[in-house]
Amino acid sequence: MRTFDLIECAEFLKVDRNTAMKLAGTGELPGAKIGRAWVFLEDDVVAFLRKKTQEQSLARLQGAHEPETDDRVARAIARQIETPDRRRPGRRARPLPVLPGLGDAILSA
């Protein structure tokens, strides 16, 4: 049976080391802290990944979404719309630079 340290586990799950440590610390990712080091069994990490995959796939199939994410995005958009223009009155935005044309090179490709 193969074991992973924290960095190997994080690489296997394709997450940052801090994320793996947080998951292990909360008990969501099964592992043991031996001395100062975290140790994970490969079978437990694979089972964790399979469980997460099934949960998220089922949620997508049922059309579930994260309302707090939707609310956060809506608030951010509203905040950008409501923010007053910080330019001095009477000033206009600079025109966009004109890029050199490629001529007919794009049309013939």
Is 23 among the domain residues?
A: yes
Is 62 among the domain residues?
A: yes
Domain that holds residue 49: 3-67
Q: What is the pLDDT of residue 69?
A: 66
Question: 21, 31 in Cβ contact below 8 A?
Answer: no
Query: Which pLDDT tens digit goes with each residue over 18-69?
Result: 999 999 999 999 999 999 999 999 999 999 999 999 998 888 888 766 666 6
Is 57 among the domain residues?
A: yes
**pTM score:** 0.57
Confidence category of residue 105, pLDDT binned at 50, 70, 90: low
Is 52 among the domain residues?
A: yes
Q: What is the pLDDT of residue 24?
A: 95
Is 100 among the domain residues?
A: no
Number of domains in the chain: 1
Is 39 among the domain residues?
A: yes
pLDDT over 60 (residue 108): no
Q: What is the CATH number of the domain that holds 48?
A: 1.10.1660
- The 8 Å CB, 24+ separation contacts for 32-35 are none
Listed in sequence order, the residues at least 6 apart from 32 whose beta carbon sits closer than 8 Å to its beta carbon are 38, 39, 40
